Amino acid sequence: MSAPTAILQMLCPDQPGLVRELSGWVAANGGNIVHADHHSDQGAGLFLSRIEWQLEGFGLPREAICPTARALAERLGGEYKVTFSDDRPAVAIFVSKQDLLWRVRTGELPMRVPLVIANHPDLGPIAQEFGAHFEHVPISAANREEAEARHLALLAEHRIELVVLAKYMQVLTPQFLASFDPPDAFHRLINIHHSFLPAFKGAQPYHRAWDRGVKLIGATAHYVTEDLDGGPIIAQSTMGVGHRDEVDDLIRKGRDTERLALARAVRLHLKHQVMVYRGRTAVFE
């Protein structure tokens, strides 16, 4: 395992000298920068930066880095986030089969999964096999408010920092989003869907796509907002479709692309390589 690093993400109004300002702050405290990515969106008038440096030899203890970065962000009139590469955030999965859990077990995704929530009881044994607490919370139009209150209580109880919606076929209400994921540059809810939208919304999209003879299938992983399936895009995956493919082949290929896009999006988020602004993302890979 590589030596731990600190990561600073900064979003602020664009102005001359920002790269020097931020890298100079790290250097002034004895930090050795291992990654530095910057983007100036001239149309938006915004500057986005991600700087990662080694903690060994850095002049500030961990607990002092965040307050010092806060003062820097306030001076620049921006938003900031400080994280550390050896953190393992607690993640809740709303409905999942084994794919994400296997990736956690093998170390591919640097996170813990203490909680799996589902509106059907089928996945309880799988979640328990991986050491996650499983909670079956039935949800309908009649009990949605009560169910979401239970969700929020469970997320607080397990100190969840990120929620991944892995084929969770329910729409989250604006009240839930405002409680768990207030709007800023660092979102905490990730969803996955097929990339037929907006052409094939609703039920049986693969059947209707097959009827139309589509030649490319895909999936999109994005942050969740009140705009249904319209949140800022993190990652996408595509695969070709041939004339010999039947509906079952499209469904199989679609599931493969969804798994890949979702795993990539979660990994990018966990590595703190994604920043959101003006409804879109900057992904520093």
Measured between alpha carbons, how far is 261 from 200 in angstroms, rounded to an integer? 19
Measured between alpha carbons, how far is 60 from 183 in angstroms, rounded to an integer? 30
Q: Which residues contact 80 (CB under 8 A, 6 or more apart)?
A: 8, 9, 10, 11, 69, 70, 72, 73
Give the active site residue among 14, 37, 229, 256.
229
Cβ burial, residue 257 (10 Å; 0-12/13-18/19+): buried
Active site residue 122: no
H/E segment holding residue 54: strand 46-54
- The SS3 call for residue 63 is helix
Q: How many alpha carbons fall within 13 Å on the CB side of residue 115?
A: 25
Could you tell me the maximum CA-CA distance found in the chain, to the nearest angstrom?
63
- DSSP H helices in 167-226: 174-180, 205-212
Active-site annotation, residues: 229
